[in-house]
Amino acid sequence: MEKIIIGRDRKDLEAYGSRGTVFIGSHIVGEGEDFHLANPVHMDVVRPHVILIAGKRGSGKSYTGAVIAEEITKLQKEIKKNISVLMIDTMGIYWSMGRPNEQDAELLREWGLKPEGVKMRFFVPKGFIKKYNDVGVKVDRAFTLSCGDMTATDWMITFGFKPLSEEGLAIERAIKKVQSRFGRIYSIKDIIKEIENDKKTMEKTKNALVSRFLSARDWGVFERMGTPAKDFFKKGEVTVLDVSHYTRTSTGWSVRSMLVGLFARKIFHERLTARKSEEFEVMGGEAKKTIPMVWIMIDEAHQFVPSEGITAASEPLLTLVKEGRQPGISLVMITQRPNKLHPDVLAQSDIIISHRLTAEEDIKALRAIMQTYMIKDIQEYINSLPRQKGSAIVLDDNSERIYSVQIRPRLSWHAGGSPIAIKKKGIFD
């Protein structure tokens, strides 16, 4: 049966056919419950893309992100050696991808597939290693970040201070002083010392700032020297960075935004350097070892690049959205609230995978970016989907087509499903 290929323009279709595409599901023919599955749907992964995956809670959006990650690890060796996947796990649901999906073995057989864990590495902040070991979850590596990677503005946004407030100005002075003394290699302890010695800051403000930075030290992720950026990428494999533990703090989303922003900046600069080396090699120069092209996947994306206000991740992520194509960075943004997502993300997405949405404001957000090749209102397309998890409409700006698709079942274990009080034999017992 002929493949439907999304994310690839006519020129690439003629040049490469289906090479470098991944199987994400099957085309839905018919409406509502009167449907059947037809052609396999494949998606291009060798060109950079900005992909928006939307859907209300429980519709399968996070599941779909994992399907894309699984498929990249199954590419032909000569292709996947040039690609890596970085999943920034804000909800703590992707740690199980290394295990086969035995719970859906029968469903997988119906699709001609079988349970299979994927090649992955699981990284957690250094301060949380013991918590994972205590519950028996295998951690491949602890990661840390360098204090020197944080700007004064990053700290202000994370702590909720305005730049011209007394607290903001004190942070600015402290960061400038530690940088003049230590360059980019310093600790939170060094920042605190500068704040305490600052004669321009009131004692009350000093105490408030010291308290904030002591809390930051307890996040268990900042050191003088952080984990090298290249360690987060492995060719043809998935690296899961778990930052979900920060939801338990009062500033949970601020902390996670700060971490996501730092990773986004690191990746952008690393890939800019790598791209220059790759171009040099094409021109006949000597090949140099660089980090591969990167697929970054982020759940709850509206928390990091909101439609209103800014977070510590806003600017770095919007840079990837607008400028990531040239250095070879793909971005998969997953959200249940597209209307809360920054309009630039919506406008720059060349592939939109929308599971079922019911909130009028979310429908309006997608309607605002409707393309001319859509002959019906987006609400009609969504309403025509069968009422089962994993069904979605796919808007492909590259081929200027829209499809109804049933996303394939996962090969690896899905840890993001809702719990149930009835235990299944052989799985929980």
Residue 297: predicted pLDDT = 97
Q: Which residue has the higher pLDDT, 97 or 375?
A: 97
Cα(369)–Cα(60) distance, integer angstroms = 22
Identify whether the C-beta of residue 58 lies closer than 8 Å to the C-beta of residue 46.
no
Amino acid at 149: D
Q: What is the mean pLDDT of the chain?
A: 91
pLDDT confidence bin for 418, thresholds 50/70/90: low
Cα(124)–Cα(277) distance, integer angstroms = 30
Instruction: Give, to the nearest 10 degrees, the angle between helix 203-217 and helix 152-159.
Output: 90
Give residue limits of the domains in the chain: 1-46, 63-139+232-329, 147-222
Token look-up 């498929």 returns 71
Identify whether the C-beta of residue 201 lies closer than 8 Å to the C-beta of residue 170.
yes
What are the tens digits of pLDDT across the range 105-116? Answer: 999 999 999 999
Q: Thinking of the domain 63-139+232-329, which architecture would CATH place it in? A: 3-Layer(aba) Sandwich (3.40)
φ and ψ of 93, to 5 deg: -120, -5
pLDDT confidence bin for 408, thresholds 50/70/90: very high
Give me the mean pLDDT over the 178-197 stretch: 96
Residue 374: predicted pLDDT = 73
Residue 80: predicted pLDDT = 93
Cα(170)–Cα(266) distance, integer angstroms = 26
Identify whether the C-beta of residue 121 lies closer than 8 Å to the C-beta of residue 140.
yes
Give me the mean pLDDT over the 302-329 stretch: 95
Residue 428: predicted pLDDT = 34
pLDDT confidence bin for 377, thresholds 50/70/90: confident
Residue 247: predicted pLDDT = 67
pLDDT confidence bin for 429, thresholds 50/70/90: very low
Give me the mean pLDDT over the 163-175 stretch: 96
Q: Is residue 160 pLDDT above 50, yes or no?
A: yes
Q: What percentage of the chain carries pLDDT values higher than 90?
A: 74
Can you spell out the DSSP letters for 318-344? HHHHHHSTTTTEEEEEEES-GGGB-HH
Q: CA nearest 68: which of 414, 407, 413, 386?
A: 407
The per-residue b/e assignment along 220-254, b for 16 or more CB within 10 angstroms, e otherwise, is bbbbbebbebeebbbebbbbbbbbbbbeeeebbbb
Q: Is residue 426 pLDDT above 50, yes or no?
A: no
Q: What percentage of the chain carries pLDDT values higher than 70?
A: 92
pLDDT confidence bin for 367, thresholds 50/70/90: confident
Give me the mean pLDDT over the 296-312 stretch: 95
Q: Which two tokens stand for residue 207?
A: 């105490």
User: How many Cα atoms sit within 13 Å of 300 on the Cβ side?
Assistant: 16
Give me the mean pLDDT over the 380-405 stretch: 92
What are the tens digits of pLDDT across the range 233-254? Answer: 999 999 999 998 886 555 678 9
What are the tens digits of pLDDT across the range 334-344? Answer: 999 999 999 99
Give me the mean pLDDT over the 30-49 stretch: 92
What are the tens digits of pLDDT across the range 103-148? Answer: 999 999 999 999 999 999 999 999 999 888 888 888 999 999 999 9
Q: Which residue has the higher pLDDT, 89 or 372?
A: 89
Cα(152)–Cα(312) distance, integer angstroms = 11
Q: Which residues pair with 35 in a beta bridge?
A: 30
How much is the pTM?
0.91
Q: Is residue 284 pLDDT above 80, yes or no?
A: no
What are the tens digits of pLDDT across the range 58-76? Answer: 899 999 999 999 999 999 9
Q: Is residue 424 pLDDT above 60, yes or no?
A: no
Q: 260: alpha, beta or left, given left = phi > 0 and alpha = psi -120 to 50?
A: alpha
Q: Which two tokens stand for residue 64?
A: 């779909």
Q: Where are the beta strands (DSSP E) in 126-172?
A: 141-143, 145-146
pLDDT confidence bin for 32, thresholds 50/70/90: confident
